[in-house]
Chains A and B, each alone.
Chain A
């Protein structure tokens, strides 16, 4: 594990990013943009599934917000992997990053399970199970955002 992490830190990408100024700053900004799109789409989608805005169909909301959330997730994962590579060994031991990754995995699995059951556009959803998925979504993405921010405030 340690060798793998060290090898990640030794890649050209990681070496370049460690010494960069504006590229590193831009990468941080793109990561925030990804998180913003994901969080900003997942929360209103989940609130709709929990019963808010009943006059707007869940399918209409899903057609707008599911692609936004998925794009945000993809951007956050790609930029997050690049940021991780800069200090792979240190970050791997960071408790908040571990919590964040756990929450991301649970959030993604819960979303995949919901779409597997109710379709990509969540047509005609009702009942307690979809509400549970929505609650998990809000909990996971809020927790991931918070623990992600806290990574920078501790030292392992």
Chain B
């Protein structure tokens, strides 16, 4: 049994070290608290539970933009197909506190001049 526990512990350590991760997603603890404003072209769209995610090309730099779950996006007025590859989008939201991590959590989106407010209670 000791060997089993030992093997599990070693496997766990290898797995943790083998993958590099940014603490992300839940809440706003991983963001800076201040907003940034980016405009770019959507390159990858991954919508749906547990959260939506875009990859946006901002002047040659790829940013991961976390958007809402389906209900939050729908409440903001987004329709199926609004968030699509090739669409120009402006995003206001909080970036990751890690400056090397090109990731942000969107508060408001602008597509073709229309505003979509994902978090109406945030500035």
Q: Which residues of A contact B (CB under 8 A)?
A: 17-21, 24, 86-87, 93-95, 98-99, 102-103, 106, 110, 129, 132-133, 135-136, 139-140, 143, 152-156
* A142 smallest CB distance to B (angstroms): 12
Q: Tell me, yes or no, whether B21 is within 8 Å of chain A by CB.
A: yes
Assess whether B21 is in contact with A20, with CB atoms less than 8 Å apart: no
Count of chain A to chain B residue pairs whose CB atoms are closer than 8 Å in the complex: 75
B26 in the interface (beta carbon within 8 A)? yes
Q: What is the minimal beta-carbon distance from A73 to any residue of chain B, in angstroms?
A: 18
Residues of A with C-beta under 8 A to B8: 102-103, 106, 139-140, 143
Known: A18-B70, A19-B48, A95-B21. A102 touches B4 (CB 8 A): no
CB distance from B79 to the nearest CB of A (A): 13
Classify the interface of chain A: helix, strand, loop or mixed.
helix
- Chain B residues near A154 (CB-CB < 8 A): 21-25
Instruction: List residues of B whose CB falls within 8 A of some A CB.
Output: 1-2, 4-5, 8, 11-12, 15-16, 18-19, 21-26, 47-50, 64, 69-71, 103
Given contacts A18-B49, A95-B18, A95-B19, contact A153 B25 (CB under 8 A): yes
Within 8 Å by CB of B50, from A135, A152, A156, lies A152
Asked if A102 contacts B11 (CB within 8 A), the reply is yes
Q: Known contacts A21-B70, A95-B16: does B1 contact A135 (CB below 8 Å)?
A: yes
- Measured between beta carbons, the chain B residues less than 8 angstroms from A132 are 1-2
Q: Which residues of B contact A24 (CB under 8 A)?
A: 49-50
Listed A/B pairs (15) with beta-carbon separation below 8 Å: A18-B49, A20-B49, A87-B50, A95-B15, A102-B8, A133-B1, A135-B1, A135-B5, A143-B12, A152-B50, A153-B24, A153-B26, A155-B21, A155-B25, A156-B21
Decide if B5 touches A98 in the complex (CB within 8 Å).
no
Other contacts beyond A110-B4, A143-B8: 7, CB < 8 A: A18-B70, A95-B18, A95-B21, A99-B15, A139-B8, A155-B64, A156-B19
Residues of B contacting A143 with CB < 8 Å?
Answer: 8, 12
